[in-house]
A and B are shown apart, each in its own frame.
Chain A
């Protein structure tokens, strides 16, 4: 490893803590976030959930109503105390979807930008830029112009440029969104390795489940400006509590009320009727009749059964290609994955009736606190 890289590795080490409240018309954001040095916190959520607003507030680029952001002992924002450290003095660097490599500077000058702005002499800044370029796999690219690079290479330059600033905080805003699958995977590996090594506390905004699973040690699910669940990526994605998270994890989520008609069943709000015998109770304790509860289960665990079998009646809402062969969306957004032979044997015209059942062992039950 190069000197610059090693030095950079020792420069981090500050915990980022943020509590941010922003109000914009009807939208309100209220989030608490903590990122450890060398760790990556993923913030996932649908468009408009407030992810970018959160990053802007952490970066010091947005006016906030009520916030306190600290990095180690440094107070970056404290609305109560009237503190607002400018973006240029936060040591919080943005790496966005668009690499935004300065088009008028060579690759080397791009990477040397932050050290130069910090007053490092030109020759030394260039040397360290070359070392960072080699750390991101761009040995010998220093003299290129940004216009001569591929999208993945530009994103590597942006990463090297960000790391060369030796930031305490790294704010990643869907940095892989515009890359093809292969390039995104390579860059994901690079980001993981470099962020861990740099000691920067990183916040990654994404709506890609792969990013969350492969990069993050902690996931926040943001919905309508509030954190609806958080935990390790594995916990959150295997046992989602929120419909958005379930969709992200590729699971069906049916919310409903528990009934007892000889056996315990969950009657979903959109009609599905799911026997609870044999399901895994994940959280909230045993279901009692009258309680609100939700079941999550993979689309592959749903099967089409005969009219006399136990199950529930639904209709085909739409049909699309799926991991098995065909994915059918049915009443209440319950997804069903069908193998080619099954799909061929069924009537899958829109509106056609289907009787469905779920393998109980694949379903997880979560009883909800009374509203």
Chain B
């Protein structure tokens, strides 16, 4: 495993970067951080607590967390095998598959939502049969939120993990095989543990992406409070003045920002395979 070399201030790691880079880099940081600062500044702190503890807000938060977790679970269960196969495959088929996996990343999520409707909607390619044979109607249900989340988040896990697997290479796996380990044992005891940091960061990104999902959810799952109204949708509704005030939208946004920060911190604190 390649361990990252940590470079701190005073380390020579940054030597050689032209000073000209400082200005655009600073602007980039501003572009990324200042909007969040503005959000904090704009917040009405007196009503903040009541806004974020309102039943509607809590329902949206609960739904967001549950559906994002479910979507992440689907991504892990289906995405890890796909990443392993993609990383070890060669030839045109794997190239095509890799491009297809990237598709949800580059598609606008709204397009993804429409595509999901045409696949799983009541008159959709699969949805028709699901309805006719099993009586299952997915659109505008909580399950639809999960599917939309998995659709947009899967590439983050698959591409991240595949990159980690390629970097790790196969040399440890070969040694393990000559030591008598079956392919399954090699996968379980060597391959996956070696890429655990990549798997964790991929999973976290995947969860974060599902948590922030809006477009595909809005079109495929709708905006029903308590059923499909996740945090991003609740924020959009609040901002447009439907029912609540813009102040509530700001409060909910802050809650989502806080949730995202917690997720990132937890992921950073837990790094498997770290030499203690």
Contact = CB atoms under 8 A, between A and B. Distances in A.
Specify whether A and B are partners.
Answer: yes
Contact of A88 (B1, B172, B182, B275): B182
A87 B183 CA distance: 10
Contacts of A88: 177-183, 186
Interface string B150-187: 00000000000000000000011011111111110110
B171 to A, nearest CB: 6
Interface stretch (A21-29, A97-105, A259-267, A359-367): A97-105
Interface size range of chain B in the complex = 20 to 34
Nearest to A56: B174
B179 A161 contact: yes
Contacts of B196: 104
A113 B174 contact: no
Interface in A51-76: 59, 61
B177 A87 contact: yes
B225 to A, nearest CB: 46
Interface size range of chain A in the complex = 20 to 34
A219 interface: no
Interface string B190-213: 100110100000000000000000
A4 to B, nearest CB: 16
SS of B interface (majority): helix
Given A98-B171, A147-B275, A104 B181 contact: no
B178 to A, nearest CB: 5
Contacts of A161: 179
Interface in A84-109: 86-94, 96, 98, 100, 102-105
Nearest to A99: B175
Contacts of A96: 175
Contacts of A102: 172, 175-176, 190, 194
A42 interface: no
A154 interface: no
Contact of A114 (B3, B179, B194, B272): B179
A92 B177 CA distance: 10
Interface string B240-276: 0000000000000000000000000000000011011
A148 interface: yes
B174 A61 contact: yes
Most buried by A among B3, B176, B186, B276: B176
B273 A165 contact: no
Contacts of A100: 171-172, 175
Contacts of B62: none
B123 interface: no
A59 B1 CA distance: 24
A91 B275 contact: no
Given A104-B1, A104-B273, A93 B171 contact: no
A104 B180 contact: no
24 contacts: A88-B177, A88-B179, A88-B180, A89-B180, A90-B178, A92-B178, A93-B179, A102-B175, A102-B190, A103-B194, A104-B193, A104-B196, A104-B272, A113-B189, A114-B179, A114-B180, A114-B181, A117-B176, A117-B182, A145-B276, A147-B3, A148-B275, A161-B179, A162-B179
The 10 A-B pairs with the shortest beta carbon distances in the complex, nearest first, are A117-B181, A114-B179, A103-B1, A87-B177, A104-B273, A88-B177, A104-B193, A147-B275, A94-B178, A145-B275
Given A94-B174, A102-B175, A113-B179, 7 more contacts: A88-B178, A92-B178, A100-B172, A113-B181, A145-B276, A162-B179, A165-B180
